Amino acid sequence: MLATFLLLMLATLLPRAISLPPRPPVRGEGAGFVLSNAYGAWSSDRADCPVAAVAYPASESEVVAAVAGASAKNERVKVVSGFAHTIPKLACPGNGSAPSLLISTARYDGVAVDVAARTVTADAGAPLRAVIDAVEARGLSLPASPYWEGVSIGGLVSTGSHGSSWWGRGGAVHDYVVRLSLVVPAGEADGWARVLVLQNSDALFPAALVSLGVLGVVSKVTLALEPRFKRSISNDYRDDSSFQDDFASHAANHEFADITWYPSQHQAVYRIDDRAPLNATGDGVNDFIGFQSTLIAVSTGIRALESALEASRNVKGKCTMAAAEIVAKRLVGNGLRGGRLFTGYPVVGFQGKMQTSGSCAHSPPTDLLSACPWDPRFKGLFFYETTAVFSPARFRDFVLDVKRLRDLEPDNMCGVDAYNGLLIRFVKRSEAYLGHPEDSVVVDFNYYRVADPSSPRLNQDVWEEVEQLAFVKHAARPHWAKNRLVAFQGVQDKYPGWAKFAAAKRQLDPRGLFDSQWSDEVVGGKEAPKGDSCALDGRCICSEDRHCSPSKGYYCRPGLVYSEARASNTPFEVLVQRYFTAPKSGFARSKSSKPRRLRSTHNPEDLALLSQYRLRTLGAFEQASHFTLRKSRLPSADFDQILSDSNWC
């Protein structure tokens, strides 16, 4: 554990004022361009998006000209900012087989603050950090923002990005929009494109707020502001026994509250986050560890370590990583600091310095030794991000289901705790058709993604089952800019305003110029065709073994606590987790350790699974599993059948 701890401490404590900025999402010149996201892989597939032409408007009139040119030629159009952190392939206009246009807003980034009206108007490509700095300099604050600041104003509004709050207008930025201009296709008589300026009294306003880039180009956004204020933040570490019962009171008592749950560690971290008076002492900064620039050698080392643990199926090693990560974060306040260093709670600072972070996104290109830890150029961290939005009435049962799954074997959840655990935030009901129709609880978690999409992951079945518990059993809604494709199945039925949004789309873009096969995968909500190994990369829920990886010992099996789930698992892992109750100390790895107790319940599929595993004797199974079987715990008929099964001979 010491080596892991030291590696993670290097990632958190070394200076990182100078580092390599992220690569631009659009690359190429002349007749050929490619678009990729900041992680180097989409959820739809892992291929770069080929683009025939790219426009870089610097004004609204240039945006209109770009849309008009594509509209006149009936070309598909999509928009990307200078960041491209969206995980679904929403910004890709096609597959390269037909003419298309990509509009980059990287140079369209003006910001204008109206102090008297307490508003800020930002061009679509304006970086969130630039907007925050501009309003703070004029004595105002933007009350809501996502936790990651490496986004554009147009992008974050279009995808429903949010922070955390059930107070006031809530934690979603689009709920602070008071005016928005949208450039949409038109006919020849109107010059092939036109600008719509929408306010909250306009019928199309709720559709335009969260539009996913399928209505047109968001051009300018005007946001409501408040007088400048400070925040006071403390992190309170508790056991996780009751947070499913007191999350609502926590959100009600603290304006910007959140909770981070580390299931394998049985720990929940309550963020106590409230406004403070302007004269409160403190000039603190929120520089979240995960968003800081990291030495490339450190981030590649962590990825190499995690990959080695995956290859050797070393669950205990993952747990060592998780424990070290949590200790390191706690030691440095998870990036909160009152000056140069974290010296304790509370940390008090201005809203503009506390509400969001992402210092690695703004680094100058003067040092080649550090970068954002997920930068794909350096084979750093590579992960999935699942974000599910729950009705509060369903959230408690989801947590209890995950706890039941955790209690089968806590170590199997160390993989998510080695990242950031499960981050639980709060967003209010929105008038946007594709916003959330009720006050909601958002659960966000990252976990290891294999470089080869056809290769299984350690404890793959656990996170497939959690995913299905969220989106299927408990009907959670997916975050539009995150998630694997399976999260979007049936998504239209989860939004009461979907029909109105679809009607607005038919009105504004009747020719479907802003559609693509990739955005259709998300907003269409239909299951994609299933192919071999499709479940491993989240492109399908398995229904046949070939959707997993039978050649590598992974088969499509029912879930462990949610029997209707279908997850990719090995027969051996299914047996261990279904048949045995873990000792409280965790995995028993040798005969000298306390053995697992066999459960009294029995699933008829288990005998077939034992046969598939083809161990020659019950003793061989005992040796391979490192657990002691007790005959008295098995129903006698089942025990005799196992021993007499011909496949064991």
pLDDT digit string, tens, across residues 159-202: 999 999 999 999 999 999 999 999 999 999 999 999 999 999 99
Task: Tell me how far apart the alpha carbons of residues 470 and 473 are, in angstroms, rounded to a whole number.
Answer: 6
- With 80 as the cut, is the pLDDT of residue 645 above it? no
Number of domains comprising the chain: 3
- The reply to whether 401 and 495 lie within a common domain is yes
CA-to-CA distance for 523 and 87, rounded, in angstroms? 14
pLDDT the model gives residue 147: 98
Closest CA to 327 of 11, 625, 67: 11
Q: 154-158, 478-482, 615-619: which has the minimum mean pLDDT?
A: 615-619
CA dist list (Å): 566 to 56, 67, 462, 541, 562: 45, 44, 11, 7, 9
Decide which of 13 and 90 is more confident: 90
% the chain with pLDDT above 90 = 78
pLDDT of 134 strictly over 80: yes
- Based on the domain organization, do 468 and 591 belong to the same domain? no
Q: Is 126 a domain residue?
A: no
The letter for the amino acid at 96 is G
For residue 602, pLDDT over 80 is answered with no
Flag whether pLDDT at 342 surpasses 70: yes
How confident is the model over 241-253, as pLDDT tens digits? 999 999 999 999 9
The two tokens of residue 421 are: 């655990």
Residues 497 and 596 occupy one common structural domain? no
Give the model's pLDDT for residue 575. Answer: 55
Among residues 129, 127, 118, which one has the least CA distance to residue 81? 127
* Residue 243: per-residue pLDDT: 98
Q: What residues does 445 pair with on adjacent strands?
A: 386, 422
Q: Are residues 247 and 378 in the same domain?
A: yes
Residue with tokens 């959140």: 258
Write the CATH number for 421: 3.30.70.2520
Does 391 map to a domain?
A: yes
Q: Is the pLDDT of residue 638 over 90?
A: no
Q: Are residues 299 and 405 in the same domain?
A: yes
Q: Which residues contact 575 (CB under 8 A, 6 or more apart)?
A: 606, 609, 610, 613, 621, 625
Let me know whether 490 and 619 are in one domain: no
Residue type at position 37: N
Do residues 443 and 577 share a domain? Answer: no
Please tell me the pTM assigned to this model: 0.88
Q: Backbone phi, then psi, for 80, in 5-degree steps?
A: -135, 150
Type of residue found at 410: P
Q: Does residue 576 carry a pLDDT above 60? A: no
147: in domain: no
Amino acid, res. 602: H
Closest by Cα among 546, 552, 517, 551 to 530:
546
Which of 503, 523, 555 is a domain's end point? Answer: 503
Residues 275 and 381 grouped into a single domain: yes
CATH number at residue 60: 3.30.43
* One domain for residues 469 and 579: no
> Are residues 486 and 586 located together in one domain of the fold?
no
Do both 481 and 583 map to the same domain?
no
Distance from the Cα of residue 225 to its chain's centroid: 27
Q: How confident is the model at residue 21 (pLDDT cuts 50, 70, 90)?
A: confident
Asked whether residue 65 is assigned to any structural domain, the reply reads: yes
**For 65-69, 285-289, 311-315, 538-542, which range has the lowest pLDDT when averaged over its residues?**
311-315
Report which of residues 543 and 529 the model is more confident about: 543
CA-to-CA dists, residue 519 to 349, 407, 515, 620, angstroms:
40, 38, 6, 51
Instruction: Give CA 114 to chain center in angstroms.
Output: 34
The verdict on residue 367 lying in a domain is no
Single residue among 87, 104, 121 that ends a domain in this structure: 104
397 within some domain: yes
Last residue of a domain, one of 480, 503, 526: 503
- 265 and 401 housed in the same domain: yes
Whether 429 is in a domain gets the answer yes
Quick one: pLDDT band at residue 45, thresholds 50, 70, 90?
confident
Say what the pLDDT of residue 571 is.
64
**In this structure, is residue 206 part of a structural domain?**
no
Structure tokens given for 64: 């209109």
User: What's the domain range around 466?
Assistant: 231-281+293-341+372-503
